[in-house]
Structure 1
Amino acid sequence: MSVASLLDPISPAGGPASFRNLDSWLQGRTLYGGASALIAYTAAIRAFPDLPPLRAAQVAFVAPTGPEAELRREIVRQGRNVAQVRSEIWCEGQCTLTAFWLFGTEREANAMHPAAPVTEWPGPPEEAETAMTDKGPAFIQNNFEIRRAQDMRGPGDPLVRRWARLTDRSGLDPVSELILLGDVLPPGAMRAMQRQGPISSINWSFNLLEPEPTTRDGWWLSENASQHAAHGYSSERLRLWNAEGKQVLDGMQCVAVFG
Structure 2
Amino acid sequence: MSVSDLIEPIGAADGAVTLPTADTWMQGRTLYGGASALIAYTHAIRKFTDLPPFRAGQVGFVAPVGDEFELRSEIVRQGRNVAQLRSEIVSDGKVALTAFWLFGTSRDANAVHPAASVEPSPGKPEDSTAVEPGGGPAFLRNNYDVNYPHERTAKDEPIIRRWVRLKEPSGIDPVSELILMGDTLPPSAARIMQRPGPISSINWSFNLLDPAPVTRDGWWLAETASDHADQGYSSERLKLWNADGKQMLSGIQAVAIFG
Match of 1:4 in 2: 4
TM (normalized to structure 1)? Answer: 0.97
Question: How far off is 1:153 after superposition?
Answer: 5.5
Is residue 2:98 matched to residue 1:98? yes
Are 1:237 and 1:253, in contact at CA under 8 Å, matched by a contact in 2? yes
Match of 1:49 in 2: 49
CA-based RMSD of the aligned residues comes to: 1.0
* SS of residue matched to 1:39: helix
Are 1:169 and 1:177, in contact at CA under 8 Å, matched by a contact in 2? no
Match of 1:252 in 2: 252
Are 2:25 and 2:35, in contact at CA under 8 Å, matched by a contact in 1? yes
* SS of residue matched to 1:142: helix
TM (normalized to structure 2)? Answer: 0.97
Q: Which structure 2 segments of 5+ residues have no match?
A: none
Which one is further off, 59-68 or 191-200?
191-200
Question: How far off is 1:35 after superposition?
Answer: 0.3
2:42 is aligned with what amino acid?
T
1:33-72 alpha-carbon deviations (Å, 9 max, x no partner): 0000000000000000111111010000000001111000
1:152 is aligned with what amino acid?
T
Are 2:5 and 2:21, in contact at CA under 8 Å, matched by a contact in 1? no
d(CA) in 1 for partners of 2:225 and 2:34?
A: 18
* SS of residue matched to 1:240: strand
Question: How far off is 1:136 after superposition?
Answer: 1.1
> What percent identity do the matched residue pairs reach?
64
Question: How far off is 1:167 after superposition?
Answer: 1.3
Number of positions where the alignment pairs a residue of Structure 1 with one of Structure 2: 258
Are 1:228 and 1:236, in contact at CA under 8 Å, matched by a contact in 2? yes
Is residue 2:9 matched to residue 1:14? no
Is residue 2:117 matched to residue 1:123? no
1:216 is aligned with what amino acid?
R
* SS of residue matched to 1:226: strand
d(CA) in 2 for partners of 1:21 and 1:240?
A: 26
Which one is further off, 119-128 or 76-85?
119-128
d(CA) in 1 for partners of 2:168 and 2:191?
A: 30
d(CA) in 2 for partners of 1:223 and 1:179?
A: 14
Is residue 2:218 matched to residue 1:211? no
Are 2:153 and 2:159, in contact at CA under 8 Å, matched by a contact in 1? no
Which one is further off, 106-115 or 125-134?
125-134
1:110-161 alpha-carbon deviations (Å, 9 max, x no partner): 111111111101210111111151211111011111001242353x111000
Which one is further off, 18-27 or 220-229?
18-27
2:93 is aligned with what amino acid?
G
d(CA) in 1 for partners of 2:132 and 2:194?
A: 21
Match of 2:153 in 1: 152
2:242 is aligned with what amino acid?
N
Question: How far off is 1:191 after superposition?
Answer: 1.2
* SS of residue matched to 2:107: coil
2:139 is aligned with what amino acid?
F
Match of 1:36 in 2: 36
- 1:49-88 alignment runs, 5 A limit: 49-88=49-88
